[in-house]
Amino acid sequence: MKLDRTLLVALPVGVLLLSAVAAPLAEDAISPVVDASAAAAVAELAPRADATTAAPATPPPALGPPRFDPALGRFVAPYGEGRAILTLSSTLQEQLTRTLQQNAVPWGVTVLLEPATGRVLAMAEYSRAEPDATGLALRALAPAASIFKLVTAAALLERGVSPEAEVCFHGGRHRLAPRLLADDPRRDRRCLSLETAFGKSTNVVFAKLADRGLTAPALREAASRFFFNAAIPFPVALEPSTALIDEDPFQRANTAAGFGPVRLSPMHGALLAAIVANGGLFVPPRLVEEVQGAAPPPAAAPVRVVERDVATALADMMRSTVTEGTARRTFRRVHSSLRGVPVAGKTGSLADKEPFRDYSWFVGYAPADQPEIAVATVIVNERLWRVRAPTVARDALTAYFALQEREARAGATPRLRVAKAAR
């Protein structure tokens, strides 16, 4: 969402048209499945009955274009006959947007929100390649890549797979093949636990476990609970993320490892991290703080996505991503405001061949032991690039905690220090 203190404009459907066929990078090194029914699936999506309160007799008014009110120091937007004051932090919105601009990313988005309350603090975006592109935070603009391993891991844990369960494997660094899903005692010389494979984003381990333990209906059901193929309640149009699960065993294994026809919006990415941070509870995102001169929009009810024990295991896996996995180098040296703050997260990466697009993701939250803030960053690069998503997400977390420190020094009580989610 490009706000830059002026106007919010909806992203045209044709902006950032992404290929359904992707070539792998080092971390996520297999090719995704192409499914021609993706567009039809999006058209048939319906809101989840358990994710919202009963529909009012009269639909609530639409939220108008946001703008920055200098006198109030807040972003505001028309709402019916009144005016909505938004949850967005002008300080974080500006700083996160500036980070994307300074790195001259072809396309980039960072979303910050409070897991406990759903309050959206920033939807920063920038596109050097398409300067007029807006609304990127609310569109399923990139392959989910290994972020989908969150869904797969949850489904495996629910079916009794232990985080310590080891899988031995060989190959699969650059591509999956059906033969790699079968055990080969002569060649399977490396073994990893589910938890370590999650942190290191080891595709073969996830593909083998999914091939053995997850049916297509089971993976679809888990994806649906995590709000794929479903509408997420939000006062601004939020494009649903799609996950198409093939009945074919090998294609299903590909998807479970993060390379099927799955698309994810940055807002949804932040919410996936927030679900884990909240102990398995989905707290709907909020953009409206209060409304002056009209009734506020109806509140959507929280939804339990996974049980607490599953969320706890997922949280440990996300910690391993930062302590020993694919984000270890990024978070090894941090600014003083983030020093000593444990971070949990998941990375993802994928590349389209024609035209070349390098997609990178980081979704996570901090502090890992007492979550206050969830983040999602997606960066779409061309062949020459300056920065990828984990670094931008790290800088966004740094900005958030630096702001908390400044508020504390000024004598203000940082809001998030006392925020708790309903469990």
Q: What is the pLDDT of residue 3?
A: 59
In-domain check, residue 167: yes
Q: What is the pLDDT of residue 174?
A: 64
In-domain check, residue 6: no
In-domain check, residue 20: no
Output the domain CATH number for residue 361: 3.40.710.10
Phi-psi region of 229 (alpha: psi -120 to 50; beta: other; left: phi over 0): left
Q: What is the pLDDT of residue 413?
A: 58
Domain count for the chain: 1
Q: Is the pTM of the predicted complex or chain greater than 0.75?
A: yes
In-domain check, residue 389: yes
In-domain check, residue 17: no
- Nearest partner of 26 among 143, 135, 175, 224, judged by Cα: 175
- Nearest partner of 205 among 245, 174, 249, 172, judged by Cα: 172
Per-residue confidence in pLDDT tens, the chain, 423 aa: 555 443 333 333 333 333 333 444 445 443 333 333 344 444 334 444 444 445 455 777 889 999 999 999 999 999 999 999 999 999 999 999 999 999 999 999 999 999 999 999 999 999 999 999 999 999 998 999 999 999 999 999 999 999 999 999 988 776 788 899 998 999 998 999 999 999 999 999 999 999 999 999 999 999 999 999 999 999 999 999 999 999 999 999 999 999 899 999 999 999 999 999 999 999 999 999 999 999 888 888 999 999 999 999 999 999 999 999 999 999 998 888 999 999 999 999 998 888 999 999 999 999 999 999 999 999 999 988 889 999 999 999 999 999 999 988 887 655 544 344 444
Establish whether the linkage from the previous residue to 355 is cis, with ω within 30° of 0.
Answer: yes
In what helix (H) or strand (E) does residue 219 lie, and over which residues does it extend?
Answer: helix 216-225
The vertex-247 CA angle with 160 and 349, nearest 5°, equals 75
Token pair of 318 as six digits: 């996300």
Q: Which domain holds residue 191?
A: 25-417
Q: What is the pLDDT of residue 307?
A: 98
In-domain check, residue 4: no
Which DSSP category does 113 fall into? E
Q: What is the pLDDT of residue 147?
A: 98
Residue 77 burial (C-beta neighbours within 10 Å; 0-12, 13-18, 19+):
buried
- Rounded CA-CA distance 180/355 in Å is 29
In-domain check, residue 307: yes
Q: What is the pLDDT of residue 49?
A: 43
- Nearest partner of 125 among 289, 282, 265, 322, judged by Cα: 265
Alpha carbon separation from 36 to 39, 40, 93, 111, 157 (Å, rounded): 7, 8, 37, 30, 31
- Rounded CA-CA distance 120/265 in Å is 14
Q: What is the pLDDT of residue 47?
A: 41
In-domain check, residue 11: no
Q: What is the pLDDT of residue 170?
A: 87
